[in-house]
């Protein structure tokens, strides 16, 4: 399998989070496993990136220019096929209810373990996991 074939088949993940420590760590971790990662630090940039198809969106609830939950609602209304993982440090029961009603693929509370996010993503896309293992065996990545 060539690098080009791996690149074309890599799952595309969009991270919308304004904390560079979080987005950089997730991006580097996922990139190591062969995922194609894009980072958007604001809701506005996230909306623009959502015009491009992504297999998964990792979305923070609190962004400097608005609510990630509002974007999630818009994505659901538009019929997106992207899976959505929600990141939140919020502990208000009303926010929990809103998140649960939207039905994300996964919810992570800050602070979270980055390896748990990786494990959840690998579970969502087992075919990517097989490609990553094959790449490591042949030192392609």
**CA–CA dist 1, 95 (Å, integer):** 45
CATH code linked to domain 16-124: 3.40.50.2300
Report the pLDDT value the prediction gives residue 2, as an integer from 0 to 100.
Answer: 38
The strand pairing partners of 16, in sequence order, are 40, 59
Question: Where do the structural domains in the chain lie, given as residue ranges?
Answer: 16-124
Per DSSP, the chain holds a count of helices (H) and strands (E) of 7, 7
Predicted TM-score (pTM) of the model is 0.85
Name the helix (H) or strand (E) containing 70: helix 68-78
By percentage, how much of the chain surpasses pLDDT 90?
Answer: 76
pLDDT at 54 over 70: yes
Burial of residue 96 (CB within 10 Å: 0-12, 13-18, 19+) is: middle
């Amino acid at each position: 399998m060539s690098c080009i074939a791996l690149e074309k088949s890599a799952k595309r993940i969009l991270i919308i989070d304004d904390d560079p420590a979080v987005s950089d760590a997730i991006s580097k971790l996922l990139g190591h496993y062969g995922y194609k990662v894009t980072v958007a630090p604001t809701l506005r940039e996230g909306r623009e990136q959502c015009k491009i198809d992504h297999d998964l969106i990792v979305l923070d609830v609190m962004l400097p220019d608005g609510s990630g939950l509002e974007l999630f609602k818009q994505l659901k209304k538009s019929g997106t096929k992207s899976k959505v993982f929600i990141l939140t440090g919020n502990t208000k029961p009303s926010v929990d209810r809103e998140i649960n009603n939207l039905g994300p693929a996964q919810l992570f509370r800050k602070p979270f373990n980055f390896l748990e996010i990786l494990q959840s993503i690998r579970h969502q896309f087992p075919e990517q996991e097989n490609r990553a293992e094959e790449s490591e065996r042949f030192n392609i990545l």
